[in-house]
Chain A
Amino acid sequence: GESVGLHLPTLSVQEGDNSIINCAYSNSASDYFIWYKQESGKGPQFIIDIRSNMDKRQGQRVTVLLNKTVKHLSLQIAATQPGDSAVYFCAERGNTGKLIFGQGTTLQVKP
């Protein structure tokens, strides 16, 4: 069935280092992928998205990479800051149009 998962439940990085959060998806027909950030007590917040006809997209301090061959998605955060500490979810748009979310990776930024 459709599923999106993350390789690591928790990632701990030093402030100023780059962070890489990984995600695997199973539906090869998915055409759109999104990364969300969720801070404690809040709803998820959009970070960046990518369509399946792209393999890389850059935003402000963030880059999303899509490897359709191995069905892998990653989020790179440059110069990680304490404010980046949160849970990060990847999501894919399935055949019916609804988003399917992964379990999430907790990013901890050490000062």
Chain B
Amino acid sequence: GAGVSQSPSNKVTEKGKDVELRCDPISGHTALYWYRQSLGQGLEFLIYFQGNSAPDKSGLPSDRFSAERTGGSVSTLTIQRTQQEDSAVYLCASSRIPGLAGYEQFFGPGTRLTVL
């Protein structure tokens, strides 16, 4: 596609429910990232997938958060037993393999999650 797409654009859920957020990266991009952005804050790194390597999960805030990337393309971020503090915009980005050409990440529009 032309850019990174994410779905849904908005998600409202009740505390305790599970949610799944989807990211479709740019075709051919081997690296995929998930970030969380709370209102008026910077981007908090969550997880990073690079090719067939084991993902860097060092940013996941708790074991309620998990992500997978199937076939090296689409990724799903799952939040189990959602809490109100999980409310934020979840951003996905993709990039080519880092190299001399740079490391630019292309971001999707984000999914705004609201936990009531």
Residues of chain A having any CB pair with chain B under 8 Å = 32, 34, 36, 41-46, 49, 89, 91, 93, 96-104
Contacts and interface: CB of A to CB of B under 8 A. Distances in A.
A65 B74 CA distance: 36
Scoring A98, A100, A101, A104 by chain B CB atoms within 10 A of each residue's CB, the highest score goes to: A98
B4 to A, nearest CB: 8
By Cβ-Cβ distance, the 4 closest A-B pairs, closest first, are A43-B107, A101-B43, A103-B42, A101-B42
Nearest to A99: B105
B48 A98 contact: yes
B1 interface: no
25 contacts: A32-B102, A32-B103, A43-B4, A43-B108, A43-B110, A44-B43, A46-B104, A46-B105, A49-B102, A89-B42, A89-B43, A93-B103, A96-B56, A96-B58, A97-B48, A97-B50, A97-B98, A98-B33, A98-B48, A99-B45, A99-B105, A101-B35, A101-B44, A101-B45, A103-B41
Given A44-B91, A89-B43, A98-B45, A34 B109 contact: no
Size band of the interface chain B makes with A: 20 to 34
A106 to B, nearest CB: 9
Report which residue of B41, B106, B107 has the largest number of chain A beta carbons within 10 angstroms of its beta carbon: B107
A96 B41 CA distance: 23
Nearest to A44: B107
Given A43-B91, A43-B110, A44-B91, A100 B105 contact: no
Contact of B56 (A49, A91, A98, A102): A98
A43 B103 contact: no
Interface in B81-104: 91, 93, 98, 102-104
B34 to A, nearest CB: 11
Given A43-B91, A43-B93, A93-B103, 8 more contacts: A42-B110, A43-B107, A43-B109, A96-B58, A99-B45, A99-B105, A101-B44, A104-B41
B26 to A, nearest CB: 13
Nearest to B35: A101
Contacts of A44: 43, 91, 107
